[in-house]
Structure 1
């Protein structure tokens, strides 16, 4: 998350403000991430940062993953609230041949 924010803002201070955390926290997490990955994601300068090629690819793929995660959370929430999903209704065949025949037929067509 921090890497995406730094990549968007190209500035640790601005990224930290957008995330509601301290600049030192963002800086420490990025440094730890770079050490874990064994690559530099950003080139640091006085006036901000520049994303390396490896950083660009990393941020792009992480952003896609975050979008998928967000979609999964929203989908699961909608299903949990009954706003999406499937509804299975059992109707005895004796009723579907009687007064429910036409509504059931229309439902199946839709």
Structure 2
């Protein structure tokens, strides 16, 4: 009986530590997203060259989408493999469609 109680206490401590680490990751990710947003606004307000600003804004946006998916939508957790596969399949199909349309327009 003592093993069962200590096993449960150890399991609860493990879950507590796991949740604490996950919350830490979410807070860090949120802070990074705020910093990226401030950088994007500052770049637009500084009136830099559009050819310089637009690619950087797109990269910052892509990073923020990744943060949203992995940390706030919990796509990195166990059991979310099928939704992740469906999402990435949709992104791949959209990319191929846009690429095909661009090739048709520019050819």
Q: TM-score, normalised by structure 1?
A: 0.30
Q: Which has the higher strand share?
A: 1
Structure number with greater Rg is 1
